[in-house]
Amino acid sequence: METKIYKYPTEKEIECIGKMLRDGCVVALPTETVYGLGANGLDETAMDKIYQAKGRPSDNPLILHVPSMEAVTPLVREISETAHRLMETFWPGPLTITLPKSDLVPYRATGGLDRVALRCPNHELCRSILQAAGVPIAAPSANISGRPSPTSAEAVLHDMKGRIDAIVDAGNCQIGVESTVVEVNDNKVTILRPGGITKDMLEKVVDTVVYDTHMVTGNGVPKAPGMKYKHYAPDGEMTTLVGDPLAVAREMARMMTTLSGPIGLLISQEAYEFLHTIVDVSKVHCIIYGHHQDDTSLANKLYASLLEFNKQGVTHILAEGVKSEGMGVAIMNRMEKSSDHRIVIVKK
Ligand code: TXA
Ligand code: MG
């Protein structure tokens, strides 16, 4: 099939994209986190096409995207007071809330679960398309399952060309890592996947916020089925180093001497400035994410850097991580998976 590209679509095109989605097409959409692979969330056949295009295991549920809080009512059995408060505070934005589903939502959307995940993206064009579609839009990240999520239309095209009906191109995504997924029970919130809305931010609104035990210990069955699969993996073997930037640079330099094949470095400005005084980096693919510990910049560049390293045929990636605090929790959750748990804590 030919994949049509809509770059910054006009109002007329937005109507047309909405109709395509309503009628069962698969269209990649920009959001503030990553690009999503959208299809009618009430249409099982349309959602089957998402699973096929991604090569996604069918027990991994999809997030239903809505243009407003009002659109949630028919999709759930009830909206608790806590859930309501979360939506009022963080929507539109990178918070996905799972609630008991109504009969209207097919089990295909929830991977057989009785809860449905709901999100209202903070992306105006995306919300206009959701509004035009008039149905909830199921949308996982628009990558082949297991690969890094796309934060640009080019990255979507790379994975999805010829596999989906269209891509809406609205440039780079602002945040760069996926939404926080939470389950709400009475007045307790459980974080199933960390993301742009941090635990601290949630605690300002609800009394009890905990991480799903699987997220913390890696034991048991994760409540977000997607958390158990191989994820965000670049082609090269990646190691993540965390610590003081000079110590990280020194350890990177040491590791580089032991590696053969093209190397990719994702590194802070401070670590890079020291690194290039102690080792020859002229043949290395270097991406500077920003200043040391700048979570926002690293989140924004992480997936794009991994995809760039794939393009360059890099076989080994050394990446500088951040402290697991605030937004850093989400970043390190992704980097740990990209690195297949090769995390090195570097001492000064
Ligand atoms: O930022 C995002 O959330 C992006 C954009 C496109 O909106 N979407 C995204 O979707 O990351 P996906 O499918 O790649 O990840 C959804 C995660 C998975 O880990 C899935 O298991 C979990 O949410 N999830 C979905 N529905 C769930 C449910 N009913 N209960 C528990 N976890 C659920
Ligand atoms: Mg994903």
pLDDT digits (tens, 9 = 90+) for 128-178: 999 999 999 999 999 999 999 999 999 999 999 999 999 999 999 999 999
pTM: 0.96
* Mean of pLDDT values over 3-18: 98
Phi then psi for residue 331, to 5 deg, are -65, -50
| Average pLDDT of every residue of the chain | 95
Phi, psi at 6, each rounded to 5°: -110, 105
Q: What number is the average pLDDT over the span 305-334?
A: 97
Residues 287-299 have pLDDT tens digits of: 999 999 999 999 9
Ligand 1 within 6 A of CB of 193 = yes
> Using 50, 70 and 90 to split pLDDT, how confident is the model at 186?
confident
Q: Is the CB of 178 under 6 A from ligand 1?
A: yes
Please name the residues in contact with 246: beta carbons below 8 A apart, sequence gap of 6 or more: 270, 271, 274
Which numbered atom of ligand 1 lies nearest the CA of 142? Answer: 6
Is residue 16 within 8 A of residue 154, CB to CB? The reply is no
**Token pair in block for residue 335:** 């980097």
* pLDDT over 70 (residue 218): no
Please name the residue whose Cα sits nearest to atom 19 of ligand 1. Answer: 226
User: Cα 96–174–154 angle (5° rounding)?
Assistant: 105
Ligand 1 atom 23: residue of nearest CA: 224
Confidence band, pLDDT 50/70/90 cuts, at residue 223: confident
Q: Which ligand is nearest to the CA of 227?
A: 1
Q: Count how many Cα atoms sit within 13 Å of the Cα of residue 12 in the half-sphere of its side chain.
A: 0
pLDDT of residue 60: 87
The band of 217, judged by pLDDT with boundaries at 50, 70 and 90, is low
Condensed to tens digits (0 to 9), the pLDDT of residues 44-69 reads 999 999 999 999 887 889 999 999 99
pLDDT at 219 exceeding the cut of 80: no
Q: Is the preceding omega at residue 140 within 30 degrees of 0, hence cis?
A: no
Q: Is residue 96 lining ligand 1, measured as CB closer than 6 Å?
A: yes
Protein residues within 5 Å, CB atom, of ion ligand 2? 141
Residue 275 pLDDT > 80:
yes
Taking a C-beta distance cutoff of 8 angstroms, is the pair 280, 287 a contact? no
Instruction: Outline where DSSP puts E strands in the chain.
Output: 4-7, 27-29, 36-40, 63-65, 95-100, 115-119, 137-138, 166-169, 180-185, 188-193, 208-211, 237-242, 263-268, 285-290, 316-320, 343-345
- Check pLDDT > 80 for residue 107: yes
Tokens of 40: 């009618």
Ligand 1, atom 22: nearest CA belongs to which residue? Answer: 224
pLDDT (0 to 100) of residue 167: 98
